[in-house]
Every structure is written in C-alpha cells, then in structure tokens.
C-alpha cells in the first residue's frame, strides 16, 4: 500500500525535524507493507531527500513544467530537473492546479515529459461538487483519463489518484459504496495493465478505518494530515490493523 504525503505550499527548513518520527517508523516492523512517499514543496525536496537517505521513504514533487528541456521559463522546473535532485514521483493534474487553469491537454504534456524523465506519475482526477450533484462524476472522470493519458501507452509507472474536489480539505469523504463503485469504474477505463489506484481527500486517522475497507485501492494521497507525523503514521498503522 502506498501513502503519498502532499505537503502543498507548507513547510520550511525547521519542518525537517518533524520527520524524525517518520524515519524511525519507516525502519520499524510496524510499517508492514506500507510504502511512504513525501511530496514537499520544491524548496524542500533536496533536504527531504538527504533526510531519507538511510531509509526507504521516497520523494516526489507536486508539479512540473511540460517541457523536456531546459528553457527560458521563468519560475518553472521540469521533470528532468526533479529527477536530477532525487525525486522519483510527481503529482500531476491536482485539482488545485486545474482550478488555476491547467487543462487536460497541458496535464497530458506534463505526464508525457515526466514519464520520459522516468518519474512515476501520480495523476489526479476528480469531480467538483456541482458535477457530482448533476450526476456527471463518471463522464468527468472518463474525460480526464482519456485526455490526460492521450497517446500514453506505458502505464507501468502510473498511479491514478481519485480525489473528489469536494472532499479535498473539507473533512468530507465519499460514501463507501460510491467510492467502491467509482474505483471499479476507473479501472474499467483501462485495458491490459492497470495503473495503481489511490484515493485522496480528507484522509485522516479516524476515517481510515472505513477507507481501508474499500476494495482495489492501492493506497492514499494525503494532504493536510500528512504534515503531522503522528497522524500520518497513525493512518499507515491503522490501514494494516
């Protein structure tokens, strides 16, 4: 099971000290089959990478530019640059970036460049509350998958993170039955090798007891709760207990 920590735009050099507990936990037997991946802001990737050097916690970024090459793109970072500083994962298509104007087409280009740079891609999809209310969840997810993965054959390094937009940071999670059916539906969009499927949206140490029962999930993408090492560790422990 994968547990991806999305730190969003939080953290400074002092935050590194909060990771001691997680490093210790990652070396203990209690981690069982949990695989931890931290996606801090760009500014902390190198420090986190160093912190995790003697343990199995992996590192990712929260976005990247779509270009494969260096270029005159003020303020941006591409997948090759991320790979060169130790990142192995990148979160793409997050709803907070879609909201800012990232289109399916742009996300598709980013995914292609990330795969080329040998990053594993955590591709976020999800419907808004109004889309859900209008019964559009399935058509939105299909469209995001179709356009986001257009002309991408290699699915082995791909994770789909189903993150209902209305669930992110709100404390609300989908009903178990709905979530199970949506995961099943997402799988049906793929032929042959299936990507791994994660759920994201307000995962916390309380609701993990329900979420862990959902069939066919390969893990969780965790925002707010992942910045608190105790909560993050609790989520992992409870998943296996």
Residues that bind ligand PEP (CB under 6 A): 6, 163, 168-169, 200-203, 221-225
Q: How wide is the angle at C-alpha 39 spanned by C-alphas 137 and 210, nearest 5°?
A: 50
Owner of token pair 């399935």:
138
Closest distance to ligand PEP from the beta carbon of 197 (Å) = 14
In this complex, which beta carbon is closest to ligand PEP, that of residue 34 or of residue 201? Answer: 201
**Shortest Cβ 170–ligand PEP spacing (Å):** 7
As to burial, measured by CB atoms within 10 angstroms (0-12 exposed, 13-18 middle, 19+ buried), residue 135 is: exposed
Closest to ligand PEP by CB, 31 or 161? 161
List the one residue out of 136, 144, 119, 123 whose CA is nearest residue 60. 119
Catalytic residue among 94, 96, 127, 131: 94
DSSP calls for 94-126: -HHHHTTT--HHHHHHHHHHHHHTT-EEEEEE-
Helix (H, G, I), strand (E, B) or coil at 61: strand
Q: Check if the beta carbon of residue 57 is closer than 8 Å to that of residue 22.
A: yes
Q: Which residue, 80 or 110, is less far from ligand PEP as judged by CB?
A: 110
Give the whole-angstrom CA distance, residue 131 versus residue 62: 25
User: How far apart are the C-alpha atoms of 231 and 191, rounded to whole Å?
Assistant: 36
Contact 168, 201 (CB under 8 A): yes
CA distance 108 to 105: 5
Write down the least CB distance from residue 185 to ligand PEP, Å: 20
Minimum distance from CB of 168 to ligand PEP (Å)? 4
Could you tell me the smallest distance in angstroms from the CB atom of residue 70 to ligand PEP?
29
C-beta of 99 vs 118, nearer to ligand PEP: 99
Nearer to ligand PEP, 80 or 161 (CB): 161
How many residues are given for the chain? 241
94 given a catalytic annotation: yes
Residues with a known catalytic role: 94, 163
């Amino acid at each position: 099971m994968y547990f991806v920590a999305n730190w969003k735009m939080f953290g400074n050099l002092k935050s590194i000290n909060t990771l001691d507990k997680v490093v210790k936990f990652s070396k203990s037997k209690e981690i069982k089959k949990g695989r931890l991946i931290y996606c801090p802001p760009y500014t902390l990737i190198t420090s986190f990478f160093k912190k995790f050097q003697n343990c199995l916690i992996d590192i990712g970024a929260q976005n990247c530019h779509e270009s494969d090459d260096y270029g005159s793109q003020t303020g941006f970072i591409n997948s090759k640059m991320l790979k060169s500083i130790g990142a192995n994962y990148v979160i793409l298509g997050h709803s907070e970036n879609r909201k800012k104007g990232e289109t399916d087409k742009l996300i598709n280009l980013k995914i292609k460049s990330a795969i080329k740079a040998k990053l594993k891609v955590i591709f976020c999809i999800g419907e808004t509350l109004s889309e859900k209310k209008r019964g559009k969840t399935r058509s939105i997810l299909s469209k995001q998958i179709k356009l986001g993965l257009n002309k991408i054959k290699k699915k082995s390094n791909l994770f789909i993170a189903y993150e209902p937009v209305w669930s992110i940071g709100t404390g609300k999670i989908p009903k178990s039955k709905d979530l199970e059916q949506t995961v099943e539906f997402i799988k049906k969009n793929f032929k042959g090798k299936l990507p791994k499927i994660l759920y994201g949206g307000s995962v916390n140490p309380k609701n993990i007891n329900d979420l862990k029962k959902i069939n066919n999930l390969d893990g969780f993408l965790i925002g707010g709760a992942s910045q608190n090492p105790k909560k993050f560790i609790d989520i992992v422990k409870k998943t296996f207990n």
